[in-house]
């Protein structure tokens, strides 16, 4: 793989909260990592679910090369359209201008009817990405922090009887938004209608590497728990969404240019900021994701696709 020339560095892993997040220093992500460094970062991800790096200098090619040391890099997004850099289709840019281009003029995310938009990336896919790597190019002087929550800790915090109840349940995840419903003529409405994504995933997912059980629902994409009445589903999802939003399970990350967040998309949810649109200064970040596996529940049964293909490298 051409990585044998890499030399070990002295990585420092500093946890940032009781359950979630660690800051890793002492490494240049633009250089090939040693096997020991890869293992240190993987181990930190298994424990803390998201790791952060500061002061990195990465162009698109270097960000993709960094991610490729941990898995196969996917295309930018199932609904990327023509907004990815032509030579780097793996890059998904997160900025107000990018969203306007991708989804329609003056697109703005609306508040989810299920409350704050905690989510894992693209869970309506049959195989949601295993990891996401987000790099900050420009950030406003304040505002725009991203929050992350450890959903393995959320599961462990539930009463045993509740854990036993949700272990056997499955839920539908579907790609749609309130913006889509209200403005169906916008680009995203057309994209979702012509290429719908929907899957039924276990409510509790067994992590394929750590074997931990995680709460695998989120208020952005999970529409209903199947085989329950609508009212039963709503109450149970509300309970789980309230637990996901408890501050003790979360960490809040303040971006700086050159900051990187690398999270396990199977064990962490994140919350995009809504507090910076009135603040002067651009906010431009670039994300890549790694090919994921099909979720499996405690009963050993895998997810089922309703609509959409396996999401892998182009």
pLDDT in tens, 51-108: 999 999 999 999 999 999 999 999 888 876 555 677 999 999 998 877 666 555 544 5
Q: Which domain holds residue 149?
A: 98-307
Q: How many domains does the chain have?
A: 1
Does 56 map to a domain?
A: no
> Where residue 114 sits, what CATH number does that domain have?
3.60.130.10
Task: Determine which one of 121, 173, 201, 283 is catalytic.
Answer: 121
Does 217 map to a domain?
A: yes
Does 301 map to a domain?
A: yes
Active site residue 121: yes
Q: What is the dihedral of CA 215, 216, 221, 227, to 10 degrees?
A: -90
Does 60 map to a domain?
A: no
Query: What are the CA-CA distances from residue 207 to residues 15, 216, 266, 268, 298 (Å)?
Result: 21, 10, 7, 11, 10
Does 4 map to a domain?
A: no
Q: What is the pTM of this model?
A: 0.90
Does 144 map to a domain?
A: yes
Task: Determine which one of 92, 119, 205, 266 is catalytic.
Answer: 119
Active site residue 270: yes
DSSP result, 41-94? HHHHHHHHSEEEE-S----HHHHHHHHHTTSPBPPS-TT-TT-S-TT-TT-EEE
Q: 271 and 151 in contact (C-beta within 8 Å)? A: no
Q: 283 and 144 in contact (C-beta within 8 Å)? A: yes
Cα–Cα dist 98/138, whole Å: 13
Q: What is the pLDDT of residues 229-277, one digit of tens each?
A: 999 999 999 999 999 999 999 999 999 999 999 999 999 999 999 899 8
Active site residue 235: no
Does 286 map to a domain?
A: yes
Q: What is the pLDDT of residues 155-207, one digit of tens each?
A: 999 999 999 999 999 999 998 744 334 444 455 556 556 678 999 999 999 99
Tokens of 242: 């309230």
Does 285 map to a domain?
A: yes
Active site residue 119: yes
Query: What are the CA-CA distances from residue 203 to residues 141, 149, 189, 295, 301 (Å)?
Result: 39, 16, 27, 10, 12
Q: What is the pLDDT of residues 5-49, one digit of tens each?
A: 566 678 999 999 999 999 999 999 999 999 999 999 999 999 999
């Amino acid at each position: 793989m051409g990585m044998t020339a890499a030399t070990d560095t002295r990585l420092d892993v500093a946890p940032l909260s009781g359950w979630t997040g660690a800051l890793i220093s002492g490494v240049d992500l633009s250089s090939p990592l040693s096997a020991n460094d890869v293992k240190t970062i993987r181990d930190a991800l298994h424990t803390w679910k998201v790791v952060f790096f500061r002061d990195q200098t990465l162009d698109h090619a270097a960000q993709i090369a960094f991610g490729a040391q941990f898995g196969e890099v996917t295309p930018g997004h199932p609904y990327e359209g023509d907004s990815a850099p032509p030579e780097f289709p793996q890059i998904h840019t997160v900025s107000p201008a990018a969203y306007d281009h991708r989804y329609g003029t003056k697109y703005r995310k609306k508040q989810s009817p299920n409350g704050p938009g905690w989510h894992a990336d693209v869970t309506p896919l049959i195989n949601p990405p295993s990891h996401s790597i987000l790099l900050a190019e420009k950030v406003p002087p304040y505002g725009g922090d991203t929050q992350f929550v450890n959903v393995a800790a959320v599961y462990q915090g539930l009463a045993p009887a509740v854990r036993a109840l949700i272990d056997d349940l499955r839920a539908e995840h579907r790609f749609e938004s309130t913006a889509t419903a209200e403005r169906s003529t916008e680009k995203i409405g057309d994209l979702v209608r012509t290429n719908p994504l929907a899957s039924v995933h276990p409510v509790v997912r067994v992590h394929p590497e750590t074997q931990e059980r995680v709460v695998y629902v989120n208020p952005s994409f999970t529409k209903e728990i199947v085989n329950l009445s609508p009212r039963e589903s709503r109450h149970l999802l509300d309970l789980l969404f309230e637990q996901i939003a408890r501050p003790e399970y979360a960490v809040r990350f303040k971006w700086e240019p050159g900051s990187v967040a690398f999270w396990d998309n199977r064990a962490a949810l994140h919350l995009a900021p809504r507090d910076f649109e009135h603040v002067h200064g651009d906010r431009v970040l670039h994300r890549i994701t790694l090919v994921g596996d099909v979720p499996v529940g405690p009963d050993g049964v895998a997810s089922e696709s309703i609509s959409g293909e396996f999401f892998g490298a182009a």
